[in-house]
Amino acid sequence: MLILLPPSETKRDGGDATARLTQRALGFPALAPARRVALAALEELSRDPESAMRALKLGPKLAHEVERNRRIRRAPVLPAIDRYDGVLYDALDAASLPPAARAFAHEHLAIASALFGLTRALDPIPAYRLSADSRLPGVSLSRLWAEPVAAELASARGLVLDLRSEAYSALGPAPRHGAAVFVRVVSDDGGRRRALNHFNKAGKGRLVRELLLAGIDHPEVSSLLAWARQADIRLEPGAPGELDLVV
């Protein structure tokens, strides 16, 4: 099983001050050529702070994000699952997971990224600012990532559980087969379901936390749904190729 998560715009500061970003420490090594292109383009953009703020759609209060990007190769690193912040990652609360759950996460969880393509949960990464809709000089993020990320996902064994946002799904489509499903978070108002926004992220974070704590490598959707029923989680078939997480 491979669980796919979106990143977050915000990142936690700090990390291991004795370590720096290195390609050898990142999972999905086939993505290294595209990572080098994205990193070089981000560094080029960061030489002009005003242009960088426009390209990254940043206001004056977020000017420090450009400096983060400028120093990206010299910045301390944190495991990816600890680096990302925000509603989803607050609900996941990776720091409180026991070692066995974090080890399971490293093997079975991948986080999408406009800068790195995909990372494993414990891959050491610096803080950065780059979104799926950002503009880099001479680089189209969709063209850069779509093919190599899709190839990595197509090679995944067993169930692929896609909890990414649509913007990040577009940077690397999941395989189109019965073992790959997209998760939507919905409410159920007397049989009528509607998609959620803020609670979408919290619901995904809580679901992934329970999956990591359970530590079950689900080979197919039926196994996942049986586990969800036992865990009192409303994860149900939705549209073709989708599951509804009802919260």
Is the model's pLDDT at 175 over the cut of 90? no
Taking the complete model, does pTM exceed 0.85, yes or no?
Answer: yes
Q: For residue 178, what pLDDT band results from cuts at 50, 70 and 90?
A: confident
Residue range 5-18: average pLDDT? Answer: 93
C-beta of residue 88 within 8 angstroms of C-beta of residue 198: no
| 38, 39, 40, 44: CA torsion to nearest 10 | 100
Is the model's pLDDT at 194 over the cut of 80? no
Locate 12 and state its tokens. 């936690």
CA distances to 4, 9, 46, 89, 244 from 186, rounded to whole Å, are 18, 23, 39, 19, 6
DSSP strand E in the chain: where? 2-5, 78-79, 109-113, 117-120, 124-125, 160-162, 180-189, 192-195, 235-237, 242-246
204-227 burial, b for 16+ CB within 10 Å, e for fewer? bbbbbbebbeeeeebeebeebbeb
Q: For residue 190, what pLDDT band results from cuts at 50, 70 and 90?
A: low
At residue 201's C-alpha, the angle toward residues 196 and 203, to 5°, is 80
pLDDT number for residue 188: 78
- Per-residue model confidence as pLDDT tens digits over 29-82: 999 999 999 999 999 999 999 999 999 999 988 989 999 999 999 999 999 999
d(CA 145, CA 35): 9
d(CA 37, CA 67): 19
C-beta of residue 176 within 8 angstroms of C-beta of residue 217: no
pLDDT number for residue 145: 98
Q: Helix, strand, or coil here: 142?
A: helix
d(CA 55, CA 35): 19
DSSP letter assigned to residue 16: B
pLDDT number for residue 137: 93
C-beta of residue 81 within 8 angstroms of C-beta of residue 15: no
